[in-house]
Amino acid sequence: MKAGNPPAPMLHACANCPVHLVCCSVSSKGGIVESPYLLPTDIKAISELKALEPEEFVEYRINEITGNTVSFVKTPKGVGCRFHDSLSGKCSIYHARPLDCRLYPLDVMLIQGGYYWILWEHCSITQDDIQALLAYGESILPLIREHLHDYATVPMEMMDKSPFQIIAPIQFPENYAEKAKI
Ligand code: SF4
Ligand code: SF4
């Protein structure tokens, strides 16, 4: 993917959000936001944009549920994201930002054997925003399908105890499980 990921919808809630400038580490209702999950295409796009080797910005973790190595943005403080510019309050890799960021506060979770869209409740998103994000999420599913099992199951130390609500089941085409080897 050369020009980064497909553009995400602008969320109405963000315009007046009290934590807009620090959203990448602190949510509107005070919850901590972890550094983003990185898909291989995210790593490639960031690497090209910033002329960085992956080792310089990727933190590799083991997903103990799948046994796979998964990638997150490496952060020196353990909270937030190294690409957040604290002076401007902006993302320094905006046009190459990961899908995880574009989807936030929407996420994917494996619940009792099924994949669901979930919403982290510590963000003050509106109903219109949820529908827009859901439509976006459905549109980018093909980009994450091979990695969905890791994406949906990897433990996140700080957000795992955060409240969330289930929005909708994720519908897959037939044979998805076989193709994705889940
Ligand atoms: S995503 Fe949520 S927490 Fe972040 S700026 Fe928008 S409304 Fe606020
Ligand atoms: S990559 Fe950009 S949008 Fe994503 S968490 Fe970091 S600063 Fe925020």
CA–centroid distance, residue 171 to ligand 2 (Å): 28
Question: Does residue 108 surpass a pLDDT of 90?
Answer: yes
Atom from ligand 2 closest to the CA of residue 97:
1
Predicted local confidence at residue 178, as pLDDT: 47
Closest ligand (CA of 124): 1
Predicted local confidence at residue 145, as pLDDT: 87
How far out from the chain centre does Cα 102 lie? 7
| Whole-model pTM over 0.75 | yes
Q: Cα separations (Å) of 176 from 88, 106, 149?
A: 42, 21, 12
Q: What are phi and psi of 44, to 5 degrees?
A: -65, -45
Q: What angle do CA 127, 151, 171 make, to 5 degrees?
A: 55
Cβ of 27 closer than 6 Å to ligand 1, yes or no, is: yes
- Is residue 124 included in any domain, yes or no? yes
- Is residue 98 included in any domain, yes or no? yes
Of the two residues 38 and 81, the one the predictor is more confident about is: 38
Question: Does residue 182 surpass a pLDDT of 50?
Answer: no
Q: What total number of domains does the chain contain? A: 1
Closest ligand (CA of 19): 1
By most ligand atoms within 8 Å of CB, the mutation choice from 10, 104, 107 for ligand 1 is: 104
Q: What pLDDT band is residue 1 in, cutting at 50, 70 and 90?
A: very low
CA–centroid distance, residue 129 to ligand 1 (Å): 11
- Is residue 4 included in any domain, yes or no? no
Of the listed ranges 31-40, 72-81, 93-102, the one predicted with least confidence: 72-81
For residue 80, give its domain range: 12-180
- Is residue 3 included in any domain, yes or no? no
